[in-house]
Each structure stands twice: as structure tokens, then as C-alpha cells.
Amino acid sequence: MSSRKVTVKWGKKVFEIEIGESLGEIQAQLYSLTQVPVERQKILARGRQLKKDKDLSKIKPGAKLMMMGTAEVLAAPTKEYVFEEDLTAKQKAELTKEDVAGLNNLGNTCYMNSTVQCLRRIDELKGAINKFRDDPSASSDAHSTMVKLMGDMFNKLDVAAEPFTPIAFVNIFRTLFPQFAQRGESGHYMQQDADDCLMTFLQVVGSKLSSPKYSLSESSQDKNLTQQLFGFRVRETLKLMEGEEEEKIKELTMQKLRCHIDEKINFLVQGVEKSLDEVVEVKSSTLGRNANYKQSTRLLSLPKYLVVQFVRFYWKKSQGKKCKMLRKVKFPHKLDVESFCESSLRKSIGARRMADKAKRDKELGLDSLKVEKKAKIEPTTSKDEQAMEIDTSIQPADTTGFYQLFGVVTHKGRDADAGHYIGWVHQKDDDWSKYDDEKVSPCKEEDITNLCGGGDWHTAYMCYYKRIDTMPVERPKKKGKK
């Protein structure tokens, strides 16, 4: 017999159900509707109790049944459960002890919010700004006020249990630099460039924290703070490509490296090396006209913090606007900058690495094993082994030439004047935080690696690295991964 619809009255409630040839199915339906256990159910049809499946054969469509029985009383839960998405930022901070200090967006300020989250991980910067903020003799002009408000913002973010609204800082920033206060046709604030924002921040902080009392060390008192943290010297060489002419050499100071991108660039190191060796057009005194020169730039010093910008935005004449290059370019968590350096600095870095290696081998007792093995196998020293010996005539560098990634600013979207910026900052070990304006969420190192581009996903635009002054210890590889 096919299924048919009937009504079942239970107390003051009436339910419409479908019945077939199984009494057990009816009992299950009624239990789900009434919470009356099967053993307590007494189902009646025309005054007679239904006890077996064959009793259902006499029931016609539209029949009225009645059920008697008492529902189960559900015990109240002993614990109150709250889902994470229902927690306020303050509750989440208290329960999880996570860094939830996000910044509220004040009209397309994601470019600034993401930059601030990376900069506040630089302890030396925060310490010097706080010293300036608490200095009664510090100037009180608008630029000084901006630096002091930046310090206030850093401090509040460090202890905040809920998102912070930096309205005072944003207002003075837009007042001092009107290009960041531009509005579109709709009247809303326009999107800006995170790189322009960073360079403006460094310019203002550097101009105000130039006194020796804000210096990080006595040997660097002739430089402002941002130069001490981000600045590095380079040697730029121009060589004429069309004839004989004396090379033009000059030394400059820079605060970031650029990663150029084209169809052949797959890795950050390739892109930086391309930016350091370019062909430029300059007026030649020999030829009396503009000519092509090979411009080679090499680092003479290494900054404490290194910023690398991916040159992803370019002007597309056919569309009359800046567009974005989406190509996938992988970036390392541990960056080796030796290939970017001038020859003498490269040798100095090499000497430092060899000295560190020899020291570690000695601590582990490997040096005696090597000497013993060498004496047994080959009593004489080969040319290759001589080359591996530390050259005592070269002064080892005060750093290893390695940098560790601690922050990334990404851009999502295809338009340079639109899209969305997010900051990603390292916390400890494999743990990172994703700063999407006021929303902060935990993530892992693997998530950061996937920010290399290749589509419309969040794509690395600015990488923040910290110099490693001791030889880094290699992490053990995870099992199961080749």
C-alpha cells in the first residue's frame, strides 16, 4: 500500500504525517515531533490501539488518529557553550589570549592599517617614538603631533582587547598629506598605495627623531632613526653601452629594495637582481645626446630591517589607468641577500659565515673529527680545501647576510586605485596573525607562503624582513612532506 497522509492529535496539538506499512516509522516520526519515547506512545484509530504493522492496512487517507503519552523532559545543560563567532573581541582576547588588536577602517584606510600593523612589530621604532612622546622638550608642531599620535596608537594596540579607531591620527595624517585625503566622484575617500604610506611615515618619523638622544647607538648618532633602522648605502655604476666612456660611480642611500616582475621572474631574488641591473637612458657627455647605460647597483651596507616592494602596479595606456601584474612570484621566509652586495661586502659576509660554521663545529666536536678523518684519508691539503679555509685577511661582517620575514602587506584586486590591503604579521614559531582592518585571525606559515600571487587572491605587495646577526638554525622538515 502506498503512503498516505493522516493527522495525529496529541493533547492540544495536531500533526500531519505520512504513513506507510511500518508502525515503527510512524512512531519514529511522532517521537521527533513530540519527544514522546516509543515505549510510551499509545496510538489509537477509532478507539482501537495500533499494535502491529497489519493494523495500518485499515487506515484510509485523511484519517484522524490520536496519540497518548508523556514527552521526555530534557535535562538542562550543565555547561553554557558559546561559539567563537558569537564572542566579542574583548571576550576573545580574554579567553584565547590572542592578539586581537585590529584597526577600524575610516574610509579606505586599509593601506594604512596594514602598514601600521607591520611597523608596530619593530620594538626599536616603538621605543624611540615613546621616548620622543614623553620628552617635554620635544617640538609640538603638526609633524611632531603626528609622531606622538603614532606612538599612542602603537601603545593602545599593544594592550587593546578590542579594535581601535585611530581617528586623531588619520585626521592629522590626511591634513598634512592631502594626497591621502583624495575623494572620488561619489565623495568617498579613495584607495591609496601602501608603499607611499610607508615612505611618508618614515620621512616624518626620520625628520623628528634625528636628535642623538633618540639614536639606537653612539656610532649612529649622525643618522636619523629611520635611516638607522631601514637605511643602507649602495654604489651605483653607470657604464655607456654605445662606446668608450669613463664609468660614472656614485654612492646613494636607500630605504627599500624593489622586486621587478616580468614573464621570466618566478622568485623574489630574481626580481630584486633584475632591479639592481637595469638599462637606463642618460645624456652622454661624450656623444652629446641621450644614450643607453647599464646601471648596476650593489649594497655597501645591510640595514637592520629590509623592506622589499613588489613592483606590481603599472600604467596601462589603453585603459588609461594603473593596472596590476598578477604573476606568481615566490618569496622566501629566510632571505639571503649576499648576491645583492658589492664584492668586498660579499667576501666579508662569506668570512662571517665560515667563522660561524667553524665555531658551531667546534662546539659540537665536529672539528676534531674532521681533522682526524682528513689525516687518515689524505695527509696533504688540496686546493679546494685551501679555498674553504677562512681568509684571515678579510674582516668578517657583523651580520650573516640573512633576513627573516616578519611581516607582509598584501593587495587583493586588479585595480591599483581600488582593491583591499591586509597585513600579515609573525607572532612566534609557525604562528602568524592576519590583520584585516578590525578583524584579526590566526594563521600559519603555510598561509603566508601562499600569498605569492597568481590570481585574484591576496598577493604580497610589501615584504618586511629583520636582519639575522647569527647563523640561523635550520628547522626540521615536517614528516610526510617531500
3-state secondary structure the chain: CCCEEEEEEECCEEEEEEECCCHHHHHHHHHHHHCCCHHHCEEEECCEECCCHHHHHHCCCCCEEEEECCCCCCCCCCCCCCCHHHCCHHHHHHHHCCCCCCECCCCCCHHHHHHHHHHCCCHHHHHHHHHHHCCCCCCCCHHHHHHHHHHHHHHHHHHCCCCECCHHHHHHHHHHCHHHHCECCCCCECCCCHHHHHHHHHHHHHHHCCCHHHCCCHHHCCCCHHHHHHCEEEEEEEEECCCCCCCEEEEEEECCEEECCCCCCCEHHHHHHHHHEEEEEEEECCCCEEEEEEEEEEECCCCCEEEEEECCEEEECCCCEEEECCCCCECCCEEECHHHECHHHHHHHHHHHHHHHHHHHHHHCHHHHHHHHHHHHCCCCCHHHHHHCCCCCCCCCCCCCEEEEEEEEEEECCECCCCEEEEEEEEECCEEEEEECCEEEEEEHHHHHCCCCCCCCCEEEEEEEEEECCCCCCCCCCCCCC
- 260, 267 contact by CB (below 8 A): no
Cβ proximity of 182 and 190 under 8 Å: yes
Enter the C-alpha cell of residue 268.
623574489
Q: Is the CB of residue 118 less than 8 Å from the CB of residue 409? A: yes
How many angstroms separate the CA atoms of 260 and 454, rounded?
Answer: 15
- Return d(Cα 382, Cα 372) in angstroms, integer: 16
Q: Which residues are catalytic?
A: 110, 420
Strand arrangement, sheet containing 277-284: 248-254, 232-240, 289-299, 277-284
